[in-house]
Amino acid sequence: MRYKLIAFLAGLAIIFGSAESSSTTSQSSQDGAIVTLTTAINDGDELGVMDILGRVRLIAAKEELADPDFVSFLSDIWYGREAKHLEINWRLANRTTIKAFIAATLVFLDHRKLAEIDEPEFRSFARHLLGTSIDNIVVVHAIQILGLMDDAEDVNILKNAALGDDEMIFRAAVLALAEMCVSGAQDALLELRAAAANPGRQTFIEDQLDAFGGYSRRIRGCE
């Protein structure tokens, strides 16, 4: 499971760190994504689902593109519209991991103005996962959702997540705080740096503090 977390966090770095670079992807990269995602879900291939959705987010970040049919398909899965998709194994589609992957993707696409979501519903879902899930990959996706929601009330939740022992959750929470526009997020990063006994953690936080206020914040409309 940890290699999944490493791959996901690498994807976060690509999405938030390289949106400035020239794009080599295209809308055609999403062709067949519905069939591919359906197959991955029905095979119980959680890594495959995460990879497909990660590529969709990368295209959205670089090109501001998302296939409307694919977005609608994700919404159907999220809301459990079983009658519309008899081809889906709903027992597998309703796994918490799959729901977390899809929720994080829909929130990301909403942030990019490529989808519309009910934000309170998704925020409640993410907060619930952070309070109940013991699956690190689910927790990381919940953290990403709250970071994108950019609610000052979530700053302490994310800070507390970063104070735990798990390194991947720590990094995900720090990245989420660094991407938030609310002023309290930077204060939380400073508190985390002061509390960090591990030099590696201190360096990671300092790197995010250096980036705070940079391009990633401008594209979010923080300034």
d(C-alpha 95, C-alpha 115), whole Å: 23
d(C-alpha 113, C-alpha 116), whole Å: 7
d(C-alpha 40, C-alpha 92), whole Å: 10
Helix residue ranges per DSSP H, the chain: 2-17, 33-42, 46-63, 68-78, 90-93, 96-111, 119-132, 136-149, 155-162, 167-179, 183-195, 199-211, 215-219
Domains (range + CATH), the chain: 1-122+137-144 (no CATH), 150-223 (1.25.10)
Q: What pTM does this model have? A: 0.83
The answer on pLDDT for 37 being more than 90 is yes
Residue pLDDT, tens place only, 171-206: 999 999 988 888 788 889 999 999 988 899 999 998
